[in-house]
Amino acid sequence: MYFDMKPISLKEIRTEIEALEKEIRLQRSLLEGIPEPFFILSREGDFLRVNPRGVELLGYPAEELRERVLMDVVSLEDLHRVREGLEEMAQGKKSRFRLQIISGFGERIPVEFFGVLREGAFFIMLTDMRERMEIEEELERSKKEFAEKIRERDLYARELQVTRDLYKEKLKEIEVMKEEALRLSYTDDLTGIYNHRFFVEQLTREVERHRRYSTPLSLLMIDIDYFKHYNDANGHLAGDQVLKAIALLIERGVRQTDVVARYGGEEFTAILTNTERTGAFEIAERVRRNVADTRFPNESAQPDKDLTVSVGVATISSSISTLTDLIREADHALYRAKKAGRNRTEG
């Protein structure tokens, strides 16, 4: 069989090469023109392409990123969620969630992750949540400026109403962002109460308020008695249920103005604002009784035949004047309650 193949001229080859180069430049231009950090990953999570905004966000040169995988820049606590997201995309689904990345400078950056699978690769876009915080601050500044103008001028009723409606919408957006940020940053995943980070920040503010205005301030340190024994005997799932239940009982025992947080493990804490020593002991005893009077599954197998808590109380004073002093004093009181037989309050 004979094929009459027409030879390709050098001019035609050059034309095709120029067309390919033009297409490559166009693709590169499109990638660089995307305003958000954008990444193309292999199915294994390797960085294949990164636009300039992505390089800027992650803080690594593009060449160095190609030697890394996505998991290298994700915070440890978010690794599991990212793996789930990659699995969702591999199944042809869109994946959207929030996480924290660790930049090349060691900075933890909150971002929103959005990704899809296209042409055998993952297309990922990250939205820097810090910008939303700046927007929130800008909205607050705008609110003050508008309010000042409203006070200074006698605006027409229609203009005033339009401005108020605009503020209402913006305030709703701000509240949504605030609630979401607090949920991610300040809430204990298991119990739903505040975490250790929020506790430290809030106690710092309350100690400073005491220094300025001499407002009373007390602190409770609460520990579940023989929790390890209960956990070992009944399993971690049952132990988790006990932690959730006791967190709720503590919240019921304090006032709405008080702050309850999980200090760590089976230990909780409560910041009692505007509370002297006597009032703090009353609240501590109410919390202790709430737990002691509650029936928990299999608690009869506990060393004391009951699942209880011990409470340490500390009140700020001239000799206990710093955050560290207050925590140390409450912790020492908790130790005395444990040593004296547990299921008691000491201060």
Active site residues: 266
* DSSP string computed for 89-156: HHTT--EEEEEEEE-TTS-EEEEEEEEEEETTEEEEEEEEHHHHHHHHHHHHHHHHHHHHHHHHS---
Question: Is the four-CA dihedral 155, 157, 163, 167 of positive or negative sign?
Answer: positive
The DSSP secondary structure of 239-299, one letter per residue, reads HHHHHHHHHHHHHHHS-TTSEEEEEETTEEEEEEET--HHHHHHHHHHHHHHHHTS--TTG
User: H-helix or E-strand containing 331?
Assistant: helix 323-339
> Amino acid identity of 314?
A
338 conformational bin, left if phi > 0, alpha if psi -120 to 50, beta if neither: alpha
CA angle 15, 18, 23 (to 5 degrees): 125
- Tokens for 216? 């009373």
For the record, the structure tokens of 88 come out as 């969702």
Helix 277-292 and helix 236-253, axial crossing angle in degrees, nearest 10: 140
Distance CA 69, CA 81 (A): 15
Neighbours of 137 (CB within 10 A): 11
Helix axes 129-152, 157-186, angle to 10 degrees: 150
